[in-house]
């Protein structure tokens, strides 16, 4: 196997570069590639990090899991690209600065035409081709908002165009198994309508899962901008445990993931930016990261700049707090929390 200039060598960790695009100023934008290739054959796992350039805990975890010792123990291959967005990484920014596009919203979606593809979409197509050709599973490492609880996003699997319903159920079960092996609480993606409005159907995770049919999940490793030590360490353990689950590592390599939080609730949940305020003002939250929320529970007050209470905001849903919104100044219809809310829907959907 070869990805860019990185060539797999049995029993070794090798590195190289994948050319993303030529820059107007004369150099090449290239992505770092690491390949750990086992002595024995087996499946191929892809690990990607920091497609959002400020999500640096994923970058660090991806770097740290790729060691010489790992390569010696593998049955199969791990391909790791710790940084999919060098332009964002240079500026500690989410987007690439080519056209300030969000790189994680331009992966292939055969049923949607977006007109003339800009450079970010071209880069994603090149990358997607490599993943589609070689990967048996993908872990796409991200981070979420400030002070967010670490969790893993699971996409709903589509059936109809690309696979049958029973194939979709099998794929969904594999995704859940791999995410459970990783060890963070799992949260289904936003509801379908929200999902497309946010263009999340064109994220790496959605495209590799729903277009290419490769089991993929997306750990969100706490806050952005600085490496957070506990989520980094738990991600390294989690990635190795995913390798055990895939048969890339021996079962004896599986370790308890002591730093990964347990799900605060026993029922299935989905991501929701909820509740919203109808009143503008300064938000004063009554709940914090990881708190369990009952339906109708008060979760925030909106106050005047002088501090007088204007209104109290309640949650419509039961669930728990993934994170409070960044910033305290809110306009009408702004959401106040990133929540994991009770979900009674199916993990596979006709599409």
Contact set with Zn ion (CB under 5 A): 52, 55, 142
Task: For residue 211, give the 3-state DSSP assignment.
Answer: helix
Strands, DSSP E only, in the chain? 2-3, 6-7, 12-22, 28-37, 40-49, 75-81, 137-141, 151-154, 157-159, 186-188, 216-220, 269-273, 281-285, 292-293, 298-303, 309-314, 319-324, 329-330, 337-342, 348-350
Q: Of 87 and 293, which CB lies nearer to Zn ion in the complex structure?
A: 87
Residue 128's Cβ-side half-sphere holds a number of Cα atoms within 13 Å equal to 26
Number of residue whose CB is nearest Zn ion: 142
Please give the Cα distance from 276 to 335 (Å, whole number): 4
For residue 78, the minimal CB distance to Zn ion (Å) is: 21
Q: What minimum distance in Å lies between the beta carbon of 94 and Zn ion?
A: 7
Which of 94/240 has CB closer to Zn ion? 94
Q: Which is nearer to Zn ion, 7 or 195 (CB)?
A: 195
What is the closest distance, in whole angstroms, from the C-beta atom of residue 192 to Zn ion in the complex? Answer: 20
Nearer to Zn ion, 53 or 275 (CB): 53
Cα–Cα distance for residue pair 319/339, rounded to 1 Å: 7
Distance separating alpha carbons of residues 350 and 205, to the nearest angstrom: 18
Q: What is the DSSP letter of 59?
A: H
- The residue among 215 and 219 lying less far from Zn ion, judged by its C-beta, is 219
**Complete DSSP assignment for 112-179:** ---SSPPHHHHHHHHHHHHHHHH-SEEEEEB--STTPPPEEEEPPEEESSSS-HHHHHHHHHHHHHHH
Looking at the Cβ atoms of 205 and 281, the one nearer to Zn ion is 205
Per residue, what are the HEC states of 181-209? HHCCCEEECCCHHHHHHCCHHHCHHHHHH
Considering the complex, state which of residue 55 and residue 233 has its C-beta at the smaller distance from Zn ion: 55
Q: At what angle do helices 56-65 and 229-246 cross, to 10 degrees?
A: 50
CB of 43 to Zn ion, least distance (A): 25
> Which residue is listed with tokens 């993931």?
257
Tokens of 87: 């332009």
Which residue(s) pair with 142 in the sheet? 220
What crossing angle do the helices spanning 165-182 and 229-246 adopt, rounded to 10°? Answer: 130
Least distance between Zn ion and beta carbon 167 (Å): 28
Nearer to Zn ion, 55 or 245 (CB): 55
Q: How many CA atoms lie within 13 A of 84 on its CB side?
A: 34
Residue 140 Cβ, how far from Zn ion at the closest point, in Å?
A: 9
Q: Which is nearer to Zn ion, 77 or 104 (CB)?
A: 104
CB of 225 to Zn ion, least distance (A): 12
Please provide the size of the chain in residues. 351
Closest separation in Å from C-beta 146 to Zn ion: 13
User: Closest approach of Cβ 283 to Zn ion, in Å?
Assistant: 23
């Amino acid at each position: 196997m070869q990805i860019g200039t990185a060539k797999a060598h049995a029993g070794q960790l090798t590195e190289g570069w994948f050319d993303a695009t030529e820059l107007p100023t004369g150099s090449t934008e290239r992505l770092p590639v690491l390949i750990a290739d086992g002595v024995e054959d087996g499946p191929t796992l892809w690990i990607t990090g920091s497609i959002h350039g400020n999500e640096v805990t994923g970058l660090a975890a991806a770097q740290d899991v790729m060691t010489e010792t790992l390569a010696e123990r593998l049955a199969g291959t791990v391909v790791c690209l710790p940084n999919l967005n060098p332009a964002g990484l240079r500026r500690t920014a989410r987007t690439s600065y080519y056209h300030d596009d969000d790189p994680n919203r331009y992966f292939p979606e055969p049923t949607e035409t977006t007109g003339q593809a800009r450079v970010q979409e071209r880069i994603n197509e090149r990358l997607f081709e490599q993943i589609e050709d070689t990967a048996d599973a993908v872990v796409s490492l991200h981070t979420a908002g400030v002070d967010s609880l670490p969790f893993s996003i699971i996409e709903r699997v589509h059936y109809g165009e690309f696979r049958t319903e029973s194939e979709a159920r099998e794929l969904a079960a594999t995704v859940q198994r791999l995410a459970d092996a990783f060890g963070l609480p799992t949260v289904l993606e936003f509801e379908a309508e929200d999902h497309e409005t946010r263009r999340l159907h064109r994220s790496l995770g959605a495209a590799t899962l729903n277009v290419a049919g490769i089991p993929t999940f997306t750990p969100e490793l706490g806050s952005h901008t600085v490496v957070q030590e506990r989520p980094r360490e738990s991600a390294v353990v989690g990635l190795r445990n995913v390798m055990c689950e895939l048969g890339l590592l021996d079962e004896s390599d599986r370790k308890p993931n002591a730093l990964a939080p347990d799900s605060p609730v026993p029922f299935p949940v989905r991501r929701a930016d909820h509740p919203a305020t109808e009143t503008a003002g300064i938000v004063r939250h009554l709940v914090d990261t990881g708190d369990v929320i009952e339906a109708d529970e008060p979760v925030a007050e909106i106050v005047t700049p002088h501090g007088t209470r204007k209104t109290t905001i309640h949650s419509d849903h039961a669930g728990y707090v993934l994170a409070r919104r960044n910033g305290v100044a809110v306009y009408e219809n702004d959401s106040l929390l990133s929540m994991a809310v009770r979900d009674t829907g199916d993990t596979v959907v006709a599409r």
